[in-house]
Chains A and B, each alone.
Chain A
Amino acid sequence: MNSRHLTRIVSAATIAAVLLLWWTVTASERIDPLFLPSPAAVLAKFVEAARDGYADATLWQHLAASLGRVFAALAAAIVLGVPVGMAIGASPVGRGIFDPLVEALRPIPPLAYLPLVVIWLGIGETSKVVVIGIAMFAPIVLATASGVAHVAANRLDAARAFGASGWQLLIHIRLPAALPDILTGVRIALGAGWTTLVAAELVAATRGLGFMIQSAAQFLVTDVVIMGIVVIAAVAFLFEAGVRALERWLVPWRGKF
């Protein structure tokens, strides 16, 4: 048995153990379902929300709204973050301009700038995407900058020896060489994005997983809260698996060179 299989089996066993513990605790009926509903109740809510909906929308509509925001934010963060990261990593002037800005932005929790974004952009869809996007921006910038800056010197020399210009070095050598780091940045950014999603959907949303959880919490519908959390966890897990597959496809040389 190889170590990857072993890890998988242990992971599956761990999840099974947590479910079993959850089931045992709730089956003993010593805990008010208001605090912790049973796995069966959560599953039932899942089916119900998927079929009939909760808070004026089906589970799938909530999911689609959240996915749309995360994807839009990710696209914006990549489109802006990769060039900024390249500027920081490859040019002293670029570093001078962007590094302080990114470093100042990075440690601010999204909840802190959320009100400001709402004042500026209103309570519509844009401000939600912007808040999530800001949270995703810094990880992508920093990962790109580091990847672009740490290209093996001999590869740069080789390209220069063949007459590559500064731009050609950036596009043909630094960018592809940084791809593994950029994808790592995307993974970290997605984590930050999901974290920010719930906060962003606090504000005047009518759909979204975060909104669904919030409105359920207000009425103490705990099974919907837990169901929403599990769905977010499952989706985040699928995203992670997706980025890994993307990695295998885009940077098959990772770990080999």
Chain B
Amino acid sequence: MSDAARHIRLRDIHLRYGTTPILDGVSLDIASGEFIVVVGASGSGKTSLLRLAAGFLKADRGTVAIDDAPITAPGAERAVVFQDDALFPWLTVRDNVAFPLKLRGDRARKAKADAQLQAVGLEGFGDRRLWELSGGQRQRVGLARALITQPAFLLMDEPFAALDALTRAQMQVALLEVWSRHRQGVLFITHDIDEALLLATRVVVLAGRPAKVAQTIDTGFARRVLEGEKVRTVRHDPAFQSLREQILDSLFEPAANTP
């Protein structure tokens, strides 16, 4: 990756399904090294926003661009981690992780996959089959598969939503460590406000039907976690608590833009 920061820019996005407007003028920037977390109520359009950035979906109005070039299709520099793991059960763990490299005909893919498995804490799991893994281990496989092409951006749709609280906490720290090493630009979607505050460099709150950006909050709790501070202490910080309240308020305040 070059030194110059890369950007994904969503500008004034309008999106509707049929006649139902979903997104109403949403703008969002993701630069290298930024960890953008989008929170919003269920059905508010978070997944749609991520699918726009991934190139699976086209906006009705507005622009989606990467480094000033319009995004029209999925691309290798933007890796996606899905809400459910979307792994391939006919492949072993190693071959799942190596899959993006297989598409390119990379012959060193098995060794690279093993290295990537090690990086996400799954050393020695390469020959296992998916049904022999726990939910948390499967999400690690999904993360390893997304990381193996060394993408500039990670687009993650509630990757930890199905995990128990303990596993989720471990995965959050694991993800922060990966991110602090490689400084990808991250777009991370969640329902969980604590998760948002803990991981983000910036929290973006979607609210209203159709959804607008109700609030943007720059935070620095992730750095403190990375520097070794206990997640529990960070969470009990009054600053954390008050931001939490602030986000809750903006999530549930009656939307000003309902028709």
Q: Does A179 contact B (CB under 8 A)?
A: yes
**Other-chain contact of B99, A162, A179, A253 (Cβ < 8 Å):** A162
A67: min CB distance to chain B, Å = 30
Q: Does A176 contact B (CB under 8 A)?
A: yes
B233: min CB distance to chain A, Å = 37
- Report whether B86 and A157 are in contact in the complex, using a CB–CB cutoff of 8 Å: yes
Task: Decide if the interface of chain B is mainly helix, strand, loop or mixed.
Answer: loop
**Which residues between 28 and 63 of chain B lie within 8 Å of chain A, taking CB atoms?**
54, 56
- Cα A162 to Cα B109 in complex, Å, equals 14
- Cα A176 to Cα B145 in complex, Å, equals 19
- Report whether B74 and A160 are in contact in the complex, using a CB–CB cutoff of 8 Å: yes
Across the A-B interface, give the 7 residue pairs with the lowest CB-CB distance, nearest first.
Answer: A253-B89, A162-B100, A176-B90, A158-B86, A154-B86, A161-B80, A256-B131
Number of B residues, CB within 8 Å of A: 27
Known: A162-B76, A162-B149. A251 touches B90 (CB 8 A): yes
- Report whether A157 and B89 are in contact in the complex, using a CB–CB cutoff of 8 Å: no
A162: min CB distance to chain B, Å = 4
Q: Does A257 contact B (CB under 8 A)?
A: yes
Known: A157-B80, A158-B82. A163 touches B131 (CB 8 A): no
- Report whether A177 and B131 are in contact in the complex, using a CB–CB cutoff of 8 Å: no
For the complex with contacts A161-B78, A163-B74, 15 further pairs of A-B residues with Cβ separation under 8 Å are A154-B86, A155-B88, A157-B56, A157-B82, A157-B86, A158-B80, A158-B86, A159-B103, A160-B74, A161-B54, A162-B103, A177-B90, A253-B131, A256-B131, A257-B89
Q: Does A14 contact B (CB under 8 A)?
A: no
Question: What are 6 pairs between A and B in contact, CB < 8 Å?
Answer: A154-B83, A159-B99, A160-B74, A161-B74, A256-B89, A257-B89
A250: min CB distance to chain B, Å = 9
Q: Does A252 contact B (CB under 8 A)?
A: yes
Task: Decide if the interface of chain A is mainly helix, strand, loop or mixed.
Answer: helix
- Cα A177 to Cα B88 in complex, Å, equals 8
Chain A residues positioned under 8 Å from B79 (CB to CB): 161-162
Residues of B within 8 A of A (CB): 54, 56, 74-76, 78-80, 82-84, 86-91, 99-100, 102-104, 129-131, 145, 149
Q: Which of A152, A163, A168 has the most CB of B within 10 A?
A: A163
**Other-chain contact of B75, A155, A163, A252 (Cβ < 8 Å):** A163
Chain A residues positioned under 8 Å from B89 (CB to CB): 253, 256-257
Known: A158-B82, A173-B88. A163 touches B100 (CB 8 A): yes
- Cα A172 to Cα B99 in complex, Å, equals 9
Q: Does A164 contact B (CB under 8 A)?
A: yes
- Cα A195 to Cα B86 in complex, Å, equals 41
Q: Which of B56, B90, B99 has the most CB of A within 10 A?
A: B90
**Other-chain contact of B103, A157, A172, A251, A256 (Cβ < 8 Å):** A172
- Report whether B103 and A163 are in contact in the complex, using a CB–CB cutoff of 8 Å: yes
Chain A residues positioned under 8 Å from B54 (CB to CB): 161
- Report whether B78 and A179 are in contact in the complex, using a CB–CB cutoff of 8 Å: no
A157: min CB distance to chain B, Å = 6
- Cα A74 to Cα B54 in complex, Å, equals 43
Chain A residues positioned under 8 Å from B129 (CB to CB): 252-253
Chain B residues positioned under 8 Å from A158 (CB to CB): 80, 82, 86-88
B51: min CB distance to chain A, Å = 8
- Cα A168 to Cα B130 in complex, Å, equals 22
Chain B residues positioned under 8 Å from A163 (CB to CB): 74-76, 100, 103-104
Smallest Cβ-Cβ distance to A158: which chain B residue:
B86
Chain A residues positioned under 8 Å from B130 (CB to CB): 253, 257
**Which residues between 171 and 225 of chain A lie within 8 Å of chain B, taking CB atoms?**
172-173, 176-177, 179
- Cα A157 to Cα B79 in complex, Å, equals 11
